[in-house]
Amino acid sequence: MRAVLRSIGSLVALTVLAGAALAWFAAHTEEAARRNRMYEEWKTLLDMAGEVDRQRLIGFADDADDAPPDDWLLCEMDLAILRGTGKGYGGAFRLAVAIRTDDERGSIKAVRILAHAETPGFADMLAAGSPWLDSFAEGEVHAVTGATITSLAVREAVARTMARFEPEGTCRP
Amino acid sequence: MSRFADAALRRNPAWAQLLGLCPLLAVSNTIANAAGLAVASAVVLIGSATLISAVRRFIAADVRLPCFVLVIATFTTLVNLAMEAYAFDLYQRIALFAQLVVTNCMILARVEQVAAKERIGRTLLDALGTAAGFAVAILALGAARQLLAAGFPLAAQPPGAFLTAALLLALVNAKPWRRQPGSTAFGRESKRGDHDSA
């Protein structure tokens, strides 16, 4: 009985200590990590926009509260960048779709995955610059063998995000 | 000091014991990535071994392995949180393998064989030596792959990791170094019982 209690005591004490250490450290690093993630998201969105003024990114570095807008209209560039969500094989993911506003139907300029939990290796197609992700701009997107659930989920999420886009009453007078 | 050299060279975790080969092969495509994982592994190994050695008398023998894994997992999470906050570029490149440090059998082996039995001073020397040995191994592989990749792009790819690691392993165990059967460039190889799979 005493041995059992000692075993339980060892595990409980270490678990409490580990939990306390992790909670304390996570609280101290949370803000820096959040800023890093947001900074990275800004970089992705600005890369999608292309020629946009880089001052926005430089300005952001001094103001962490300036989060990217969900629907970012860049009327002077005839562009709208919308962010959406979906659920893949490994869990929820977030993406951004750059849409040309000068096109009546609002054609896709680029798609980027901002965060995902898909299996590494199988998720290479979700990296910026992958031919599969670039195929959204070409208009013909196929499911990927070996990552069927992920590819179909991204395709559906892009379609849902696109459905939110309303060309009338946004940039046009 | 001999304990440090013994852990780093004669019992080199990668080239003598063939431990921790998964991260060694996966994250050695560049020297920068290799250095990042070497530091992450060193912090987890040294921190876990020192803490376990300090509290070893309070850990019941029946639950020692869950306790060891709990401590190693805690240090791994702390290192990952620190990387995400203060070295985000590196974190993005090696996050997956930095998280998998918790499953690195090199760390559990040193904790079980040394930290659970020895005093803090000896444990610390052993952990420092093992961490240095792993760093030398992964940096050598990273440097070799990065240099070879200039002429042979395959060296930077996963098959290149296996080929380059095999070449380095062959070099370490090459005949000119062998003064007597069973020895390597670093000294006599470990006893049969010390070998383990990664």
The predicted-structure confidence for A127-170, as pLDDT tens digits, reads as follows: 888 889 889 888 788 888 888 889 999 999 999 998 888 766 55
pLDDT at residue B180 above 90?
A: no
Q: Which of B59, B70, B85 is the closest to A36 by Cβ?
A: B85
d(Cα A26, Cα B80) in Å, to the nearest integer?
10
pLDDT at residue A37 above 90?
A: no
Average pLDDT of the segment spanning B173-180: 66
* φ and ψ at residue B18, rounded to 5 degrees: 55, 40
Choosing among A8, A22, A29, which should be mutated to test the B contact, i.e. which has the most B CBs within 10 A? Answer: A29
- Report yes or no: B68 and B112 within 8 Å, Cβ to Cβ: yes
Q: Give ipTM to 2 decimals.
A: 0.76
Cα angle: B6, vertex B7, B10; to 5 degrees: 50
d(Cα A173, Cα B7) in Å, to the nearest integer?
73
Sign of CA dihedral B17, B23, B26, B30: negative
Q: What is the pLDDT at residue B182? A: 55
Averaged confidence pLDDT in chain B: 84
The predicted-structure confidence for A41-56, as pLDDT tens digits, reads as follows: 888 888 887 755 555 5
- Report yes or no: A45 and A73 within 8 Å, Cβ to Cβ: no
Sort out which chain A residues have CB atoms less than 8 A from B71's CB and list them: 14, 18
pLDDT at residue A20 above 60?
A: yes
Tell me the three-class secondary structure of A101-132, residue by residue: CCCCCCCEEEEEEEECCCCCCHHHHHCCCCHH
d(Cα B143, Cα B156) in Å, to the nearest integer?
11
Block residue for tokens 């379609």 = A159
The predicted-structure confidence for A94-120, as pLDDT tens digits, reads as follows: 999 998 887 777 788 889 999 888 887
Q: What is the CA radius of gyration of chain B?
A: 17
Kind of pairing, strands A79-87 and A71-74? antiparallel
Q: What is the pLDDT at residue B85? A: 94
Of B46, B39, B48, the C-alpha closest to B87 is: B39
More confident residue, A9 or A60: A9
Q: What is the pLDDT at residue B192? A: 45
Q: Which of B59, B74, B92 is the closest to A18 by Cβ?
A: B74
Residue B57's closest chain A neighbor by CA? Answer: A10
Q: What is the pLDDT at residue A32? A: 92
Q: Which of A15, A18, A33 is the closest to B85 by Cβ?
A: A33
More confident residue, A9 or B175: A9
Q: Is B85 on the interface with A (CB under 8 A)?
A: yes
- Report yes or no: B95 and A38 within 8 Å, Cβ to Cβ: no
d(Cα A127, Cα A65) in Å, to the nearest integer?
27
Q: What is the pLDDT at residue A142? A: 84
Tell me the DSSP string of B87-139: -HHHHHHHHHHHHGGGG-HHHHHHIIIIITTS-HHHHHHHHHHHHHHHHHHHH
pLDDT at residue A80 above 70?
A: yes
Q: What is the pLDDT at residue B196? A: 42
State the DSSP H helix or E strand holding residue A21, giving kind and residue range, or none if neither: helix A2-49
Q: What is the pLDDT at residue B174? A: 77
